Amino acid sequence: MKTVIIQYNAGNIQSVLFALERIGVEAIVSDDEEQIQHADKVIFPGVGEASTAMQYLKHRKLDQLILQLKQPVLGICLGMQLMCKFSEENNTQCLGIFDEQVAKFNPGEEQLKIPQIGWNNIYDLQSGLFKGISNNAYCYFVHGYFAANGMHTIASANYGITYSAALQKDNFYGVQFHPEKSATVGEQILKNFIDL
């Protein structure tokens, strides 16, 4: 079993690596085409801003590489958003794996704080990714933008609006929360991904 975390200018690579280590999974961090293509599992992390991240991926030709992957791929946070079609964050064309669009949270009447920071419950869980996870389990979120609910939604959350906590299409999975920081729930989700 070979797990590769895609190396790019994302902020949470180290945390993902440590989390995998805690569940006994050895992973390598790489931006090498060969390494990524031959991995059994690929993790696409992300903390940062969408347009800068997309530029970086294109510059390294990682955008084309990701689209061609056939093994299970897990996008985390910004990684998941970049797998969507389009992000309002600096009007960025993204990878287009998921048809869902990424929009900015609206403070609304409740005067919500943006970004959302903290633990929120996830529900309507519809994937093997959530095996053993109870409905309304809490996960740790940090994000100012969200992917709308759509045909690829496999888990929902609510912050003023109901949005996609997770997406899936074929071998591509994405989670908006940070499983690497979501206590035992997050560790179980990472384990489930590795066991897919």
Contact residues for another protein (CB under 8 A)?
A: 11, 14-15, 18-19, 21-22, 47-49, 107, 111, 113-121, 138, 140-142, 158-159, 178, 180-184, 186-187
1 vs 183 by CB, closer to another protein: 183
**Given the residues 34, 94, 180, 187, the one annotated as active site:** 180
Which residue number, 99 or 187, has a Cβ lying nearer to another protein?
A: 187
Q: Is 178 annotated as catalytic? A: yes
User: Is 77 an annotated catalytic residue?
Assistant: yes
| Extended strands (E) in 56-158 | 73-76, 86-87, 92-93, 101-104, 116-122, 137-143, 145-147, 153-158
Nearest to another protein of 40, 88 (CB atom): 88
Residue 115: Cβ-neighbour burial (10 angstroms; 0-12, 13-18, 19+): middle
The tokens for 37 are 């293509």
Please name every residue paired with 107 in a beta bridge, in sequence order, or none if there are none: none
Pick the catalytic residue from 77, 84, 94, 139. Answer: 77
Segment (H or E) for 167:
strand 162-169
Minimum distance of another protein from residue 138's CB (angstroms): 4
**Positions marked active-site:** 77, 178, 180
